[in-house]
Structure formats: C-alpha cells, structure tokens
Structure 1
Amino acid sequence: MQLQPEQEPLMYRILATALALLCLATSAHAMSFNKAIKQADPTAKYLFYLHGAIVEEMGKAASSKRYGVYNYDRIIEHFEDRGLTVIDEVRGKVNPNKYAAKITKQVRMLMTAGVPARNITVSGFSKGGYITLLVASSLNNPEVGYVIMAGCGRGKDARPFELFLKNKRGARLKGRIFSIYASSDMEAGSCRPAIEQADARAIEFRETRIKSQKGHGLFYQPRPDWIEPTAIFAKGGR
C-alpha cells in the first residue's frame, strides 16, 4: 500500500504511539526496589524474586546445556499476571550472606513504609533460594513469607547448606516458609533439616516435592506446577 503525502504524518504518529506502548508494556513488568519503596502500597502483595546463580554468570540471556533457557522475564510476568507486585534485580556474582543482609534491609524498609509483614514474600531459586533461607534466619519476623525453590543444596552443591546446618542457622529461622523442589533434582532437596533446628513456635512450614523429570531445570521456566502454588502462597493462601 502506497500512502498519500497527507497520510504519512498520521501513519508515523500511529506507529510511534504503538511503539511507545509496546516499550512500556515490555518494561513495566520489572520493579526495582527503589521504585517499590517510593510507591509503597499497604494493600499490595509484594514478592521479591531472587534468581539462580546462572543468571549471575550469564545475565537474562542465561542458558544451560542441560536445562535449556532460563526464561527470567516470563517468570516475572507470570507472577505479575497473578496479581503480585514483583521486586526483582538481575544481580552479579554476590556473597550470599552479604546479599541476604541487603534483602533483609529492604524488607524492613518496606515494612517501615507501611506494608504489612504478611503482604511480603521473599522467594528464590537455587542460589537465590539459599539466600532466601538466609533472609528467613536474619529478619526475625514470624509474619513474612518465604518460598525456597530448590535452595537447600545436596550432592556437589551441598556445602553452603551444610554450613548453614553446621552453624545452627536454622535455630534463627522465623516466618512462614514454603519449600519446593523436584523429585528428580540431584542438586537440591528437602529443607527439613534446617527446619528441625528451628523453634516450632516461630515458624509455619510446608514443603512440596513435585514429581517431575526436569530436575533442577524445573524452575528455569514458568511452569504452573510451581508458579501457581508460589503465587497462592504469596497472596496469603495455602
């Protein structure tokens, strides 16, 4: 189709508007903590999402030969589609204890800004899940929620979790804790050994072992078998 001269400016304006809306749609899903704290809403359900170590190394384009593409953006979008306000950060390589201290501070700031503790959930996968466990042992608040996705390591990845147990960090756990892992995962398993160190009066704990052949890669994609229960938990359900 050939445009007449008088039609060209209108068509360009339409295309420019469409492009601007597309850019807004593709960038609006992610919320930095700085933006979240400025727009703190006491009625919103907040979910901190802490990604796995592979994203530290490769960025959002992370891909594993064994597990395939880590679909970071789609995971965030699926949580937001379920009514959650997601706070995320693509971090570089970090010390888990130092990063857990950062997230702990951010959760406290969000509560100080008026967000009820029960409206806040910290979630993480793999290394992010282990960091989530560290936050749960640092924040000292029984109302905050935590979702640990394949974050209690075993096998070749067991050392951080073993140190957590050896140092009796489980005794400091507080909060509503939900652990999820795949039955075929050779890199992570049950978080129950940490829970057994905790004061039962300070925690609510449940754990789901998903029957899946995806192993650790189960959490690389926004699959309903873990996205849905995580979102339900973060919104206050069981």
Structure 2
Amino acid sequence: MTLRLFFGVLCAAILLCGPAAASDRKMPDTIDPAKRYIFYLHGLYVERQGPYEAYHYYDILDDIEAEGFVVIGEARGLSNPGRYAKSLAAQVQTLLDAGVPSYHITVAGHSKGGLIALMASGILSRPGINYVVFAGCGRQGTEYRRGLGKFIRKDAATVDGVFLIAWAEDDNIAADCDDVMAVGKAKHTNKLLPAGQGGHRLFYEPKKLWLDLLFAHARGE
C-alpha cells in the first residue's frame, strides 16, 4: 500500500468512525437495583420536528447521564399519550420487578411528555415513585387544556407518587397541575421559575435552572 493510499484510507476511517451520533436510551439489559433511573420524555415539538435544532433532546439525555443516572428516553414519533403512558408504565414496572426501589425511579417530562408522565402515574398508582412535570399541564382557556381536562375527569383519581411541578412564569401554554393533584393521591410541590428564560421553550435545551431541580428531586433532596 502506498503512503498516499494509506492516508486516504485513514481519513475515510476517521470520517466513518467519528463522534457517535446522538441516540435514544433504551432500557438497560442488566438492571442494577442500586442505581437511580430517570425516564425523560420530550414535548410535542420533537414528535413533529425531530430531536435536533431547536429542541436539544439528546443533549438533555446526555446531561442527565453525566450526572450519574441511568437515563431512559427516546425521540417519539406522533403518539397517543394514553397508549404511550401504558408502555412507559410497563417499563417502570419492569424496574420494580427487578428490585429497584420506587424512590430510585423518576419519571420526568416536558409539555406533552409531562402529561404522559401524569398518565403513567395514574396507571401505576404507586406512592413512592418520583415524578417531575415541566410545563405539562395546559392553562385554562387554551387548546392544550383539552387532553388534561379529559384525564382529570376520567383517570386523575389514581395518580400517586411524589411530584415536582415546575413551569415558567411567562409560559402562556402551561401552568400548575393543581386540578390533577386535588383529585389524586400524590404529594406534590410547585415551583414557579422566573420569566425571561424562554417561557415554554425554557425546557427545549439543558439548563442548570431546571436540571438541578430534576436531579435534586430524583435524589429525594
């Protein structure tokens, strides 16, 4: 092999074997009950536009993983929230059946992902699991309230767990989840985040402001 050919092959290999592409995080093949697990669900934007550009979903998963958690999440296509919640609840149950303590499991989501987390809680109806809902409950008078209203009427009574509900002060889409919490059995804390950080889009990219809340809640702090 000539020197020129060798370097040509080497350059091609570097291009093909460069940085790994961002990817979904599947359920681990081996479940360690000593570890802490976070399911993180994105909003509707990713279903329509993908996990790149404006919504940095894989960067969020990277930051959660870097904090020492086992992170589970995928870029969904257009999904029915109720059906997806059933699949999510089954994954959580797999961890529980493998001996993972409920307080080592956190189900978190933004916007539609937050609504799915609420629905999964209603299916599991287990007191010790942690949940974080970021801007997941539609404001009264908006179109985003429709799915939540149906859930409140039919299924919210079985919601259980330990919830952190957070949203931005200038979010014109989402607000608190008090109507859900009022009929369910869950414990919850509300956290209003300051305006000027992007409103509903605050959670489109990993920011210390809200990631620290997620990490602390997942650790029971």
The two structures share one fold, judged by TM-score above 0.5: yes
Work out the CA distance in 1 between the residues paired with 2:24 and 2:79.
21
8 A contact 1:30–1:86 mirrored in 2:
no
Give the match for residue 130 of structure 2. Answer: 145
Structure 2 residue identity aligned to 1:190: D
Runs of 4+ that moved beyond 4 A = 7-21
What do residues 119-166 of structure 1 show as CA deviations (whole Å, max 9, x unaligned)?
111111101100101111110211111111111112221111111222
Q: 1:165 aligns with which of 152, 160, 179?
A: 152
Give the match for residue 107 of structure 1. Answer: 92
Does residue 22 of the first structure (1) align with residue 23 of the second (2)?
A: no
Work out the CA distance in 2 between the residues paired with 1:11 and 1:151.
51
Taking only the aligned residue pairs, the percentage that are identical comes to 32
**Paired residues, number:** 217
Q: 2:120 aligns with which of 119, 132, 135?
A: 135
Work out the CA distance in 1 between the residues paired with 2:118 and 2:219.
20
8 A contact 1:182–1:215 mirrored in 2:
yes
For 1:58-77, what aligned pairs fall within 5 Å after superposition?
58-61=49-52, 69-77=54-62
Give the match for residue 66 of structure 1. Answer: none
Work out the CA distance in 2 between the residues paired with 1:228 and 1:19.
36
Give the match for residue 36 of structure 2. Answer: 45
How far 1:19 sits from its partner (Å)? 6.8
Does residue 32 of the first structure (1) align with residue 26 of the second (2)?
A: yes
Work out the CA distance in 1 between the residues paired with 2:124 and 2:36.
18
Unaligned runs of 5+ in 1: 64-68
TM-score (norm 2): 0.88
SS of equivalent to 2:123: coil
8 A contact 1:49–1:124 mirrored in 2:
yes
What do residues 102-123 of structure 1 show as CA deviations (whole Å, max 9, x unaligned)?
1011100121122221111111
How far 1:86 sits from its partner (Å)? 0.7
SS of equivalent to 1:156: coil
Work out the CA distance in 2 between the residues paired with 1:116 and 1:14.
48
SS of equivalent to 1:206: strand
Structure 1 residue identity aligned to 2:39: F
How far 1:198 sits from its partner (Å)? 2.1
Q: 2:82 aligns with which of 88, 97, 102?
A: 97
How far 1:8 sits from its partner (Å)? 8.2
Structure 2 residue identity aligned to 1:223: K
Higher helix share: 1
